[in-house]
Amino acid sequence: MSASHSVQGKEAPYYYVPADSAHPVRSAVALLATGIGAAAWVNDVSWGKWLVLAGILGLIVVLYFWFGDAIHESETGMNSKRIDLSYRWGMSWFIFSEVMFFAGFFGALWYVRTITTPWLGDLDHKLMLWPDFQAAWPNFGPAGVVEHFQTVGPFWLPTINTALLLSSGVTLTIAHHALRENHRGKTMFWLFATVVLGFVFVACQAYEYHHAITELNLKFNSGVYGSLFYMLTGFHGFHVIMGATMLTVILIRLMRGHFTADHHFGFEGAAWYWHFVDVVWLGLYLFVYWF
């Protein structure tokens, strides 16, 4: 948020209405290009992957300038307390949508393990459909359709990653309290530590994927277990990358003198997102690696 809610000692307008902007149209075009490219790519059209790349790069460029305008409005004191409240509600609903996103995948994992697998393994289905099917989790499908693979246990990389993320939550909280006390140097140090821990987590997960694919033969097409494993952990890893990138931007803004002890929702919003990522990982650690 802004360094102040006022401009030259005067309270900012109740609700700031920005000038007309082409950013929404540009972002819509970039997203449309990405969607069309993805549809073409999965249908083996040669130009599909290049259109996806162009769409993603275009979206990044649009967001860069769009967020830059928002930061400029904030730092020049155009945003009132009403805008601050709208940002908080917007971030809250965004995180809620992410909660429901992951809830869908956790629900799929629960449904397959506790309902579908036992149901397909009962006597009627074994006699009528797949006599050789074993109702165990994970399973290799009927009649050995899925290549044999090994599951990923909690030791040691997943446990190390859990320690990394939990530690990053602590360092981020220290940074937040330091900012509220106006200790900017301390804030930047602990925020930098948080970013480093986040990217180390991503590196460890990349190594885990390499180990799972090359040594455990666990792939995305390794039955429903492989699909859910990579969907859950992969999307979470993507969220870690996004969260670490957000915190990196906040760190750069701190170095440029943005934020004050009283008004720093840009920092707080990124911190909310990071703590959400931490909580999701705890669920993954328990239900994917342990149970």
Q: Give the C-alpha separation, 70 to 64, whole Å.
A: 10
121-143 confidence digits (pLDDT tens): 776 666 566 667 777 788 776 66
Contacts of 52 (CB under 8 A, 6+ apart): 33, 34, 37, 38, 41
The candidate with the shortest Cα–Cα distance to 21, out of 72, 79, 66, 55, is: 66
pLDDT for the residue numbered 203: 96
SS (H, E, C) 17-86: CCCCCCHHHHHHHHHHHHHHHHHHHHCCCCCHHHHHHHHHHHHHHHHHHHHHHHHHHHHCCCCCHHHHHH
Token code pair at residue 266: 């840009």
CB 77 within 8 A of CB 7: yes
Token code pair at residue 237: 């890893």
**Per DSSP, what are the bridge partners of residue 7?**
10
76-93 confidence digits (pLDDT tens): 887 778 888 888 999 999
Q: Which pTM was predicted?
A: 0.85
Longest Cα–Cα distance in the chain:
81
Q: Give the C-alpha separation, 76 to 60, whole Å.
A: 24
251-277 confidence digits (pLDDT tens): 999 999 999 888 899 999 999 999 999
pLDDT for the residue numbered 144: 66
CB 264 within 8 A of CB 177: no
176-225 confidence digits (pLDDT tens): 999 999 999 999 999 999 999 999 999 999 999 999 999 999 998 888 88
3-state SS class at 7: strand
pLDDT band at residue 120 under the 50/70/90 scheme = confident
CB 226 within 8 A of CB 216: no
pLDDT for the residue numbered 85: 86
pLDDT for the residue numbered 119: 80
pLDDT for the residue numbered 126: 62
CB 149 within 8 A of CB 222: yes
pLDDT for the residue numbered 125: 60
2-51 confidence digits (pLDDT tens): 444 444 434 566 666 777 889 999 999 999 999 999 999 999 899 999 99
Mean pLDDT of 219-237: 91
Long-range contacts of 224-229 (CB under 8 A, 24+ apart): 224/112, 224/138, 225/137, 225/138, 225/139, 225/149, 225/151, 226/146, 226/149, 228/105, 228/108, 228/109, 228/112, 228/288, 229/152, 229/288
Would you tell me how many other CB atoms lie within 10 Å of the CB of residue 259?
24
